[in-house]
């Protein structure tokens, strides 16, 4: 119980953190750093669970979704990426708009409520191509939530089309874009970013794109890629920038810690962090990100069993059924090489961990 931690013989810092949480006071960056360095894992679980229950009771949210990865051809070569290829390179792919609209149409017959579209930054595609893609999907299926394009893709498409960011976001929204996924954030610290993804959209621009999206009425998610060459201080800095933007706009729906997966990429020699490190990171992000209602355990990256454990460390969202439609993590060595979860499997995973599986739409209304 968190009350026991607040009153116990534990050190003064952990007691004061527990008291802040009980009084709904956001913990400081120093507190957060202390949790990474010193807190006992059991205490982290208790405090994170107290917050997850006060926000979301025992609910674990999921949806019926598919991903579409239009292409893995990318102008960038991020050091952690196992997925991108150059034009004409073996293993590259590129779907036509018609193929993608057909896929959404076919999958919608099975009851999916969301399509998540994210891929490589293709050198030839401008914003009008992506508007046509959204338009074709909207025409194929009117009632579906389109969550699409990381800030990195949006940055490239508006720049290539030589249009202002806000104008571009308004055009995408008018075409039918409903929300923006959280990718491309990686780690905001410029020295680390310079080492792992030097060419792509910088932190200021990533944050600006999400800020302007929120202002024009497009909600979004935020991620943090951890477990590579960053330090705990970099993770705290990253989450602090997101918490600040959330305080300003309130436009983020979920925070998604993304664990670095090592297979088939140039950073792979550093290996992967342990499960305990993942669980501690979930709990600490739940405790620190006080103005984010949802923390997502993205099971295609973690694996189903580890994602299930993350539910006891603050996570309340299990993402969706996926239907074997994403390759980002399978190509980086994730356990589920064909990620797919049936509703009954999902319910068993959630309920056997002591939680209640709740189907949601893409804006977290219960269905
Ligand atoms: O930005 C790429 C990450 C992200 C690796 O918004 C890697 O609901 C670990 O953002 N190891 C894209 N991570 C995926 C993403 C996402 C995923 C699920 C849900 C949502 C959401 C967003 O994938 C990239 C990058 O940070 N990534 N390669 C890797 N080897
Ligand atoms: Fe391209 Fe995204 Fe891979 Fe970076 S992470 S190389 S931007 S596909």
Set out the domains of the chain in order of their start, with CATH numbers: 58-359 (3.20.20.70)
Rounded distance, CA 57 to CA 37, Å? 28
CA of 3 to the centre of ligand 1 (A): 36
CA of 189 to the centre of ligand 2 (A): 18
Rounded distance, CA 342 to CA 245, Å? 36
Here the tokens at position 275 are 């499960």
Element of type H or E holding 294:
strand 294-295
Here the tokens at position 292 are 């984010």
Sheet with 317-320: strands ordered across: 317-320, 59-63, 356-359
pLDDT for 360 = 97
Is this structure's pTM higher than 0.95? yes
| Ligand 2 surroundings by CB, under 6 angstroms | 74, 76-78, 81, 83-84, 120-121, 152, 197, 200
CA of 121 to the centre of ligand 2 (A): 7
Ligand 1 atom nearest to 223, measured from its CA: 10
Where do we find the tokens 């940055």?
A: 155
Rounded distance, CA 261 to CA 72, Å? 17
Ligand 2 atom nearest to 75, measured from its CA: 1
What digits encode the pLDDT tens for the residues 201-237?
999 999 999 999 999 999 999 999 999 999 999 999 9
Q: Is 161 in the pocket of ligand 1 (CB under 6 A)?
A: no
**How does DSSP assign 13-32, residue by residue?**
HHHHHHHHHHTTPPPPHHHH
- By alpha-carbon position, which residue is closest to atom 4 of ligand 2? 78
Which residue of 75, 86, 89, 120 sits with most ligand 2 atoms within 8 Å of its CB, as the best mutation to test the pocket?
120
What digits encode the pLDDT tens for the residues 103-159?
999 999 989 999 999 999 999 999 999 999 999 999 999 899 999 999 999 999 999
What digits encode the pLDDT tens for the residues 156-203?
999 999 999 999 999 999 999 999 999 999 999 999 999 999 999 999
Q: Is 156 in the pocket of ligand 1 (CB under 6 A)?
A: no
- By alpha-carbon position, which residue is closest to atom 8 of ligand 2? 120
pLDDT for 109 = 92
Q: Give the confidence band of 7 by pLDDT, cuts at 50, 70, 90.
A: confident
């Amino acid at each position: 119980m968190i009350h026991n931690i607040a009153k116990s013989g534990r050190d003064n810092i952990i007691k004061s953190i527990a008291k802040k949480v009980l009084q709904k006071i956001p913990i400081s960056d120093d507190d957060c750093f202390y949790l990474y360095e010193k807190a006992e894992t059991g205490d982290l679980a208790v405090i994170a669970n107290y917050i997850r229950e006060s926000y979301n009771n025992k609910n674990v949210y999921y949806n019926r979704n598919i991903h579409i990865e239009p292409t893995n051809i990318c102008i960038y070569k991020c050091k952690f990426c196992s997925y991108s290829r150059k034009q004409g390179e073996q293993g590259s792919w590129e779907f036509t708009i018609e193929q993608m609209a057909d896929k959404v149409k076919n999958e919608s017959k099975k009851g999916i409520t969301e399509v998540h579209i994210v891929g490589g930054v293709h050198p030839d595609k401008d914003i009008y191509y992506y508007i046509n893609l959204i338009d074709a999907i909207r025409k194929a299926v009117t009632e579906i939530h389109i969550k699409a394009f990381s800030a990195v893709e949006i940055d490239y498409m508006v720049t290539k089309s030589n249009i202002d960011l806000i104008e571009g976001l308004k055009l995408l929204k008018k075409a039918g874009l409903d929300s923006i996924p959280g990718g491309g954030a990686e780690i905001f610290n410029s020295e680390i970013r310079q080492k792992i993804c030097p060419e792509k959209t910088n932190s200021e621009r990533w944050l600006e794109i999400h800020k302007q999206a929120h202002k024009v009425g497009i909600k979004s998610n935020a991620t943090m890629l951890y477990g590579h060459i960053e330090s705990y201080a970099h993770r705290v800095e990253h989450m602090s920038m997101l918490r600040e933007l959330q305080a300003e706009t309130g436009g983020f729906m979920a925070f998604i810690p993304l664990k670095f997966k090592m297979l088939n990429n140039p950073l792979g020699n550093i290996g992967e962090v342990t499960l305990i490190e993942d669980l501690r990171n979930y709990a600490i992000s739940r405790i620190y990100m006080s103005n984010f209602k949802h923390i997502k355990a993205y099971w295609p990256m973690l694996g189903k069993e580890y994602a299930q454990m993350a539910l006891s460390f603050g996570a309340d969202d299990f993402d969706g059924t996926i239907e074997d439609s994403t390759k980002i993590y399978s190509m980086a060595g994730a356990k589920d090489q064909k990620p797919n979860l049936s509703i009954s499997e999902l319910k068993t995973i959630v309920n056997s961990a002591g939680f209640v599986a709740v189907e949601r739409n893409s804006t977290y209304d219960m269905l």
